[in-house]
Chain A
């Protein structure tokens, strides 16, 4: 234990985890396989803030979050190693902080502000409003990347590629192999532009901005995850010696990025970067084990912060309950989400589902789900639909707020129900044939069907019109009908949220399982007299 790794080890670990973070981030996309084995969700599953708020809100444990339990355990043992060795946001700050000139620390941040952030978050989670993800450092970073930087990067590179085509036309094909590598392995497949991109970027940039007051300003004075880990690290038997600045040197005050505001080392703010170990010229500094139980500072600076923080969480949880009913009607959640309340308790708002969504159907809510639903994913069918055979959002969700369903179950999961607007729909409103929605409906027996009727068109001529209608029991609300409706602007068919999201009946013949079960359930279609079917002479 004497020869603890030098500073380089912590740095190496940080860079390694940052690299892993970026690789996983880029990997969180469909690249030819139905399953994503490793995604950025690993970071959230090891995130104790996610775990604690999940426990408080749902009052149940999920094995998905077991890694976070390990992080907590090792924090008890070692201290805030997560902040100094793993956290990608911390690493980003460490990388840029050297270039930011420092002024004096902000006094407003130095009090108990961080407890005033953490405690209300946790206590409101106890009252079923889980807002932790809004301020979770990893979620902030992933959102800034997903909603802002990654689309910007992809859009810029692809813009250049398109510009090249405008310039040299098909001769661009000579460069195709090089661009192909970039496109297949690094770029987002399509550029999706998100609402709240500005807010997501602003949160991240604000964290970088406050580095000008002191290093690791966010981590020490605001970060709720850091504060939580700090509470646990107080019990850590793994400590730096000496615990104060040496009276003859005091170099640690400058070297240490987090813990020496005063003479005494702040154990709950030490991120174990071990810069002091390498910098000490007298070779006095060491990190070693000691008997636990000698917690120097009082547990909380003041009791009123604890009580006040917890109480304001109650106030917080009560103040965001209002929902606009008309926004609720279109509040479509990802497939498999059955209850809005349950979903809000678990959703981390990390944006992974939105990043991975094949068709760009998921967008962060602004106010549709009330203030407490900000950044949570909403299906927006006019922009993208839920791909019938895709299960990726459930796979990458760190807390199973979107359940990870096998594809057969996901196909039956109900997002909402489609409704025709006959004032817009072409065959009804303008007496022209269309049936694009019916064509695209992925349900093998077709939730959208049409009947052939003879009507007179505006010129008085008799025409055969195919008028579509919905078979509600078969509709899973995937939204492809609304997405492909050829009308400009408003679609002639729209998906609306439903309270009862019981999955479609299993009797639905899955496309992969032929057999007698199918003929039975195919009957209602025939009995219903689908004109377009009986019209086919070969049937």
Chain B
């Protein structure tokens, strides 16, 4: 080989190398979809489609758990619970992708009957085939070895643990303790026991639980968000319309992105930081491929 051609090859391979590195890093960063619009059902579908469609997550015959936040006896417009339109769209997509059964539940803070009705979920899901909207039953909580930093074990709901696909559908809102509550904290809705006692080390506790119970898909409802007096709100003056739905299979990336909607930096939210440090996902939004849909 002549010296010139050797140098050419070297130069070209260097170029190629750089391209290769970029390409690799890009293909490894999580894909996050942000859809915006007023038709929330369509927005939800668009967000999921941008990730490659529900078929990427749900296989034919799967049992799917959709876990919205319906913890409070507040009406839909008060933004304390996940928008039922978003939930219904996800349930429909899961069924269309071939889900055998879709289960929707939450361990509510107020009386569950009022929460299920007043959140609009009962009306939104009524009459749908192969869809169960049910109250939690105490006997179904199973002690799970978490061996985490904060929690060595905790009771988790069996139907969430045994689901083929767990779709986490929080509403983005303010929280007095954690600043915002998003996907990582929404998982508290499948925890049994004295949840209030978690608050003293909530960052690590949530990382422990999310490490044991993986959310295969996170769809954050930011159609309207609560900007103050969270997590319960109650005052429409605190509600802000963003008309956005965020979808991602990486729960930390999803939370990181959603926290920016409130003007926070992802690193300011200690719950997200703790989960990232545990390797549960990507907190650096520069490494996340964000697609608008």
Contacts and interface: CB of A to CB of B under 8 A. Distances in A.
B229 interface: yes
Contact of A443 (B118, B159, B234): B234
A446 B111 CA distance: 19
A32 B262 CA distance: 35
A511 B118 CA distance: 13
Given A446-B229, A519-B237, A32 B117 contact: yes
A145 to B, nearest CB: 21
B12 interface: no
A268 B232 CA distance: 60
B113 A439 contact: no
Interface string A491-531: 00000000000000000010111100011001000000000
Given A387-B73, A442-B234, A486 B114 contact: no
Contact of A511 (B74, B139, B174, B197): B74
Contacts of A31: 113
Contact of B139 (A166, A450, A518): A166
A450 B159 CA distance: 36
B149 interface: no
B196 interface: yes
B101 to A, nearest CB: 9
A415 B179 CA distance: 31
A434 to B, nearest CB: 5
Interface in B229-282: 229, 231-238, 262-264
A446 B232 CA distance: 10
Contact of A358 (B114, B137, B232): B114
B233 A444 contact: yes
Contacts of B234: 442-444, 511
A96 interface: no
Interface in A20-70: 30-32
A539 B78 CA distance: 18
Bin chain B's interface residue count: 35 or more
B111 to A, nearest CB: 5
A269 interface: no
A438 B111 contact: no
Given A443-B234, A518-B237, A170 B264 contact: no
A76 B183 CA distance: 69
A214 interface: no
B260 to A, nearest CB: 11
A424 B123 CA distance: 42
Contact of B176 (A32, A359, A532): A532
B209 interface: no
B7 interface: no
Interface string A151-179: 00000000000100110001000000000
Contacts of B118: 389
B122 interface: yes
A388 B140 CA distance: 28
B18 interface: no
A453 to B, nearest CB: 15
Contacts of A388: 73, 110
A442 B232 contact: yes
Contacts of A162: 137-139
Interface string B203-234: 00000000000000000000000011101111
Interface in B148-163: 158-159, 162
A253 interface: no
A433 B114 contact: no
Contacts of B159: 170
A315 interface: no
A358 B138 CA distance: 18
Contacts of A485: 196
A473 interface: no
Contacts of A538: 227, 262-264
A2 to B, nearest CB: 54
A189 interface: yes
Contacts of B199: 433-436, 486
A409 interface: no
B53 to A, nearest CB: 29
A304 B75 CA distance: 63
Contact of A165 (B78, B140, B176, B237): B140
A445 interface: yes
Contacts of B8: none
B143 to A, nearest CB: 14
Contacts of A450: 176
B113 A509 contact: no
A435 B122 contact: no
B140 A439 contact: no
A140 interface: no
Closest 9 CB pairs of A and B: A486-B196, A444-B234, A538-B263, A444-B235, A514-B236, A436-B196, A432-B200, A511-B234, A486-B197
18 contacts: A162-B138, A170-B158, A359-B111, A390-B111, A432-B200, A436-B196, A442-B110, A444-B229, A486-B195, A486-B196, A486-B199, A511-B78, A511-B233, A512-B236, A514-B237, A519-B237, A522-B235, A533-B228
